[in-house]
Amino acid sequence: MVNPESIQMNRLMFVSARVGFVVGAVTILGLFGCGLNESRDSSPVYTMEQTDSAHAHYRRTTLTSGETVYVHDYEESALIFAGASNEQVIGHTGGGIEGGEREDLVVIPGLDPKDYVGLVEPMQALGVFRNIQRPAFDWRTATFRQIRFPRTDGPAAQKESGDPLLIAEVVTALNEGKAAKPPSYVSGPFTNVYGLYLFSDQLAGLPYCAAVYLDPTGPVYLAVNVSEREWFPAGPLFSEWVTTPVRRVKPERK
């Protein structure tokens, strides 16, 4: 099952006159700094607007302050930001309609806020926003150096690898594979669907999240993100890697 601590939201929509996030939000990994309220009050106010995306089933959300505009659309929906301790606030939404909780724009560690920012509210990260003056991230041309299977349970949980052959097999399956319907897959519930984090040179510390489906009958499938329903058979290297238990080193008895 998709873990809400592993998979960030994938679409934005209005819920009760505020921004809601369909798949779930990621818990922020730390507490806000002591000077947060002061920095929030003095930071620029951004106006939030939503329209239909050019991609079916997605919403395009913009944050605007003067000539600065950030956007969250299909291209940003699979980028994972889990928040950070002592976050640097560079703006806020000014509060929701009817006095709802306002969201903060914060610096993403390792990235220039002129390119990308994170949107957060107290104790949870909501999503990644890109400056519209910057080109969208394209996973097809990115150079990935590391992958992580962030499943929180099971013998293969929290696996990582920097094996270039393994990573290349994953990217090739997503980019060139022939779609196939998994034997036991049922559209709707996220049973046996997990995230797969791919870390690139282009976005340091901000992983791209593809999807993994572990079919109960044995085969493994990949999708370009967790909200897609087009699955591609995984190659033999990844299929073995993602289902092989992690070797745990037992501490020696004294």
Contact 152, 3 (CB under 8 A): yes
| Residue 98 banded pLDDT, cuts 50, 70, 90 | very low
Determine phi and psi for 197, rounding to 5 degrees.
-85, 130
Q: Does the model's pTM come out above 0.85?
A: no
Burial of 16 from C-beta contacts in 10 A (0-12 / 13-18 / 19+): exposed
How far apart CA 101 and CA 105 sit, in angstroms, is: 13
- The whole-number average pLDDT for the span 157-181 is 95
pLDDT-above-90 percentage for the chain? 56
pLDDT band (50, 70, 90) for residue 35? very low
> How high is the mean pLDDT of the chain?
80
Instruction: Quote the Cα angle for 52-53-54, to 5°.
Output: 125
pLDDT computed for residue 253 by the predictor: 64
Residue 26 has pLDDT above 60, yes or no: no
Assess whether pLDDT exceeds 90 at residue 164.
yes
User: Cα–Cα–Cα angle for 146, 148, 153, nearest 5°?
Assistant: 165
Could you tell me the pLDDT band of residue 199, with boundaries at 50, 70 and 90? very high
